[in-house]
A and B are shown apart, each in its own frame.
Chain A
Amino acid sequence: MPERPYRLSPDVSLRPEPFGALVYDYATRRLSFLKTPMLVAVVRELANQPDVPTTLDAAGVPDGEHARYLDALAGLAEAGTIQPR
């Protein structure tokens, strides 16, 4: 996953909230949540960066947190919230 470029799925909208964001997938009608503002920043930044590690750096994720964020992104990819582009 990390080497590839990703983006937010075109079926998905994010609504900013104090805890992070509400995620709505119009295709599956599923509601889910991004529970940190930094994860929201990462997800939004994906489309602007060539790969995932660069995205994490660009969004300001500390090195020690990369593994945790990669796990989270893998989950989002599996759910269809983000997708390769």
Chain B
Amino acid sequence: MKLVEHFKEGLGGPICLTWELTYACNLACEHCLSSSGRRDPRELSTDECKAVIDELQRMQVFYVNIGGGEPTVRPDFWELLDYAVDHGVGVKFSTNGVRLTPDRAKQLAATDYVDVQISIDGATREVNDHVRGPGSYDMAIRAMDNLAAAGFTGFKISVVMTRQNVDQLDEFQAIADAYGAQLRITRLRPSGRGADVWDELHPTQAQQLQLYNWLVAHGEDVLTGDSFFHLNALGSTPLPGLNLCGAGRVVCLIDPVGDVYACPFAIHDAFLAGNVLSTGGFEHVWRHSELFTELRQPQSGGACTSCSAYDSCQGGCMAAKFFTGLPLDGPDPECVKGKAEPALELVGAGSTPRPDKDHSRTAGRTQAPVSLGMPTPRAAVPDRACDTSPLAGLQADTERTF
């Protein structure tokens, strides 16, 4: 049996666990996956977080991807970071850079098992700030400068690909090269506030081909969190990665209140498996929850089964389908064979599942939109600076040893 078939049946623990530490965020990105902004008053306490880390250590979850919200705005963030590392749980955290002062950068450079991922969504201030808000580009660059000055190389620069920044791929690579950093690009999802801007921001069909060709040319030097496997039907060269939806099988998400979801891009009751505070904790949810058990059963390709490309794209992304109102066993909304259009036409207005966990700061817009001279995304309010990537860091050489 091939390794990937084992993965489909689930493992003793996740390979890649995303942990959103807080919904609080200083930014208000238009496409925030988790509709972040305000802190949830039920947020796990410091002690509860440490208990989760203890459990991850017992389950030998070797590292977690920490995000938010903006995780560094938690007052106990640095304490939890040290606690995780001291307990054999490596950390990669995503940040917009707000707290990465020169001193923190030095501290991070001196800590083993910690990786940092800075989010920007434009290679220029103009394109970035349009989506992430005024000042966010300068803040991220300052954080990168601080890391570089502290001698921290190899950090990640994480970019969500949009219609406005696909043309900047080479510029993103140049920024990463200049810092000795590694570029990571991931797919825009219609999750959280991303549902509001999906139609304006998701790449065109022509851009998907451009993106695929760029990824093929750059190979494993660029990280993708395995998020573009739906593009594999565009050519004969498979993109590095598992080509697998890992939801509930090898990845999952713990949210700030301890709820466990199958996928980092699907914070919705339909994908809620349990809570780490319940009896049996995270381990019980991972191994025995009804939802995860179901996701580990053989999945039907449904309407896609007869398509010649099904083996290469596996029907695409569950979260993208769900939040655009498509059946989970049908084509991805960005199906490169164009098979989603007829299905999307049948999705009635108002029948798309709405993100049901909104932490946006609704007290009113705190920032003026930055004009790009392009159609402005629908008035969305504050959000967060996050991006998460399932299977990040997972090597493509899974078939190497035996």
A residues whose Cβ falls under 8 Å from a Cβ of B: 13, 15-20, 22, 24, 26, 29-36, 39, 72, 75-76
Contacts and interface: CB of A to CB of B under 8 A. Distances in A.
B63 A29 contact: yes
Interface in B1-18: 1, 3, 6, 9, 11-13, 15
Contacts of A33: 3, 398, 401
B279 to A, nearest CB: 24
A75 B402 CA distance: 10
B90 A26 contact: yes
A29 B115 contact: yes
Given A17-B6, A19-B6, A29-B393, A24 B62 contact: yes
A72 B112 CA distance: 29
11 contacts: A13-B62, A15-B60, A24-B63, A29-B115, A29-B393, A31-B393, A31-B394, A32-B395, A35-B401, A75-B401, A76-B401
Nearest to A15: B60
A33 B400 CA distance: 8
Contacts of B393: 29, 31
Contacts, number: 62
Q: Count chain B CB atoms within 10 A of each CB in A18, A20, A24, A33 and give the residue with the most.
A: A33
Contacts of A76: 401
Interface in B371-402: 393-395, 397-398, 400-402
A34 B401 contact: yes
A32 B6 CA distance: 14
Residues of A contacting B: mostly? strand
Contacts of B394: 31
B139 to A, nearest CB: 26
Contacts of A16: 12
A57 B400 CA distance: 24
B401 A31 contact: no
Nearest to B61: A15
A15 B6 contact: no
A34 B63 CA distance: 19
Contacts of B113: 26, 29
Interface string B52-92: 00000000101100000000000000000000000010100
B45 to A, nearest CB: 28
Interface residues of B, number: 24
A17 B402 contact: no
Given A24-B62, A29-B115, A29-B393, A15 B400 contact: no
Contact of B12 (A17, A32, A39): A17
Nearest to B394: A31
A26 B12 contact: no
Contacts of A15: 12-13, 60, 62
B13 A31 contact: no
- Quick one: which of B9, B60, B112 has the most chain A CB within 10 A? B60
Contact of A32 (B60, B63, B112, B401): B401
Given A13-B62, A26-B90, A29-B115, A35 B395 contact: no
A22 B60 CA distance: 10
Nearest to B250: A22
Contacts of A75: 400-401
A75 B397 CA distance: 12
A35 B402 contact: yes
A39 B62 CA distance: 21
Interface string B13-28: 1010000000000000
B400 A32 contact: yes
Interface in B93-138: 112-113, 115
Contacts of A18: 6, 9, 11-12
A31 B12 contact: no
Contact of A34 (B12, B395, B402): B402
B395 A30 contact: yes
Contacts of A19: 1, 3, 6
Contacts of A30: 395
B81 to A, nearest CB: 15
Contact of A26 (B9, B62, B395): B62
A4 B6 CA distance: 34
CB-based closest 9 A-B pairs: A35-B402, A24-B62, A15-B60, A19-B6, A17-B11, A17-B12, A36-B402, A31-B394, A33-B398
Contacts of B401: 32-35, 39, 72, 75-76
A20 B397 CA distance: 16
Contacts of B398: 32-33
